[in-house]
Amino acid sequence: MTVRSIVEALGLEVLNQADPDREVTSAYASDLLSDVMAHASPGALWLTLQTHSNVAAVAALKELVVLLVNGRNPDSDMLERAREHKVTVLRTSLPAFEAAGRLYALGLRGGA
């Protein structure tokens, strides 16, 4: 499933687009950066409500696409770092649980 198809299916807002045709292989939901670094699979879509610049750093390190939930607004430093490291950042007004359920319904599974 591509970033573009996920954006279209869930009506997500694109805050920074690195590669719309990038394959997303799984999803991971966590707000603890060390947990994401230890357990998220490369190529995953990361659901989080964290919005600081370290989110972009972890996403770049693990090759993740970021989905901010609950309509969270990223810090300007986060978006700057995301642009610098070519990290896609998406946003939804949905809570994490509902966003994860919709992603699951689309066929995306967790991968750790």
Dihedral over Cα of 10, 14, 16, 20: its sign: positive
The identity of residue 69, as a single letter, is: V
112 domain-assigned: no
110 domain-assigned: no
34 close to 62: Cβ distance less than 8 angstroms? no
Is residue 112 pLDDT above 70, yes or no? no
50 domain-assigned: yes
For 36-49, the pLDDT digits (tens) are 999 999 999 999 99
**Structural domains in the chain (count):** 1
Residues 6 or more apart whose Cβ sits within 8 Å of residue 44: 24, 25, 26, 27, 28, 62, 64, 65, 111
List the strands of the sheet with 44-48, edge to edge: 13-16, 89-91, 65-68, 44-48, 26-29
> What pLDDT is stored for residue 47 in this prediction?
98
* CATH of residue 39: 3.40.1390.20
- Range(s) of the domain holding residue 79: 3-105
- pTM, two decimals, is 0.95
